[in-house]
Structure 1
Amino acid sequence: MTARAPLRPAPRISCVICAYNEAPRIGTVLAVACAHPLLGEVIVVDDGSTDGTADVVERFASAQLIRCPENRGKSAAMAAGIAAARGELLMLLDADLKGLTAESISALALPVLQGSAQVSMSLRQNSLLAFRAIGLDFVSGERVVKKALLSEVLQEVHGLPRFGVEVFMNRRIIARRLPIAVTHWPHVTQARKTEKLGYWKGMRAEWRMIADLLKAVYPLALISQTFQMLRLRSEQDSRASFAARMRKVPDTDSPR
């Protein structure tokens, strides 16, 4: 009789959340993340907030708070969180999600934990229409990746434009041809900057973020990056996405 190999324990997942002036919103995200059994630790990087973001985080005893003395942007905050993370896997979450549930987190983690993909990315209800049409949000802030993908290049992450970390991560995913799973979150949305700051301030903030993306990668490279990532979607994920789209197509041959 052949002895069975011992089961390998599930990889430890470190959840990293970067936050800047998210006091009204981050509590609902932490209430879900801090209670989730798949997350070994929850690290919040307060990127120089001037509101009560840190006070909200401190209400959650299991959350680790990293305070940055000044606002340097998401890329630098992410680098600080990754440096502190102890897990083999990272779950990256935005602090301004609405409608997040334990099921949302499980769905994001499982493709990587089960080995059907090496990267998992969310597709939220209010992702841009173009992203929902193609089935991939290439700047999604909600991902599960191996920590090594970013920990070995933390100095580069620190030097990125303020909002350049997602497209930088995409380049590394493409270079390594890592299979991607897209996790559909039909009931989860992200607060828009216009909602947080008012219309005009919010629009200026959106344009500044777009400008940062263009500093990190040229417009044509963004298009190329999207199509390359679509090709990396795992076979299982592509079949599931196709089946979901087919279910939405009305049966024109059936009697009315």
Structure 2
Amino acid sequence: MKLSCIIPAYNEAPRIEKVLDAVCGHALVDEIIVVDDRSTDNTVEVAQRSGVKVISLERNGGKSNAVAAGISAASGSHVLLLDADLIGLTASDITALAEPICSGSADVSLSLRGNSPLPWQVIGLDYISGERIFRRDQVMKYLDEIGTLPRFGLEVWLNHLWLADHSRIKVVRWPDVMSPYKAKKMGWLQGGMADIQMLRDIFNTVPLHKASMQIVRMWFNKRK
């Protein structure tokens, strides 16, 4: 397995360095690509200081478009997606996420962060987790489609693909890794609006009733 780590980023200068610290030099990671989604802060400069490959998009097109650009530029057999704002991420977490793929016990893996919503903790599945590993060839022919998805529609789109392909799914708990709430990053008003937009994007990609079925099917799949 050759693993390409893709980190889409938009205005994450205060946070992305810690994420890069966890993944840079990791024995299982062969390349790291930060895709800057036209940030207005110094995200690019911070990422470049880590010595990783940085792709600067000409326009702000959202996470799905940024990930498509990263996958297109990657050379690995597998893709590791990481959000740029994770708190508490360590090299050991990356190893844990990759282990099911390396051992052949799963086809895809995704994280369950320590501050995921309580219902996801109870069932052991965060179906919109942004941290995932999967085969690059599984998505290559869909890059144009991914690039035109709603900004935050990528995760549920991937879920649909995994279920259609009968991929074996492994959920890896990351109890010490947190994803900051949008309200904390942007303020209550702007963060609340961003959350509403994210939900709108998710359900514009996969309708609510189908998203609910995704959760059920993924929950049964991960128990196999």
**TM-score grouping bracket, smaller chain normalisation:** over 0.9
Q: 8 Å contact 1:116–1:234 — kept in the other structure?
A: no
- Post-superposition shift, 1:234? 5.4
Selected match of 2:35 from 45, 60, 63: 45
Q: Show CA shifts across 1:173-203 (max 9, x none).
A: 0001111111000000001111110111111
Alignment of 1:72-151 (within 5 A): 72-151=61-140
User: Aligned with 2:195: secondary structure?
Assistant: helix
| CA RMSD after TM alignment | 0.8
Distance in 2 of aligned mates of 1:15 and 1:201 = 29
Distance in 1 of aligned mates of 2:119 and 2:223 = 21
Alignment of 1:56-67 (within 5 A): 56-61=46-51, 63-67=52-56
Larger-Rg structure: 1
Q: Show CA shifts across 1:201-224 (max 9, x none).
A: 111111111110011011111100
User: Aligned with 2:76: secondary structure?
Assistant: coil
Distance in 2 of aligned mates of 1:209 and 1:119 = 24
Distance in 1 of aligned mates of 2:58 and 2:159 = 29
User: Aligned with 1:161: secondary structure?
Assistant: coil
Selected match of 2:206 from 211, 217, 231: 217
Greater than 6 Å deviation, 4+ residue runs: none
Q: 8 Å contact 1:82–1:147 — kept in the other structure?
A: yes
Distance in 1 of aligned mates of 2:211 and 2:23 = 31
Aligned to 1:159: 148
Q: 1:89 to 1:97 in 2, by over 3 A?
A: same
Identity of aligned residues (%): 45
Aligned to 2:26: 36
Aligned to 1:20: 10
Relative to the length of structure 1, the TM-score reads: 0.86
Distance in 2 of aligned mates of 1:117 and 1:188 = 22
Distance in 1 of aligned mates of 2:155 and 2:59 = 21
Gaps of 5+ in 2: none
Letter in 2 for 1:28: K
Selected match of 1:200 from 168, 181, 189: 189
Gaps of 5+ in 1: 1-10, 236-256
Distance in 1 of aligned mates of 2:41 and 2:175 = 30
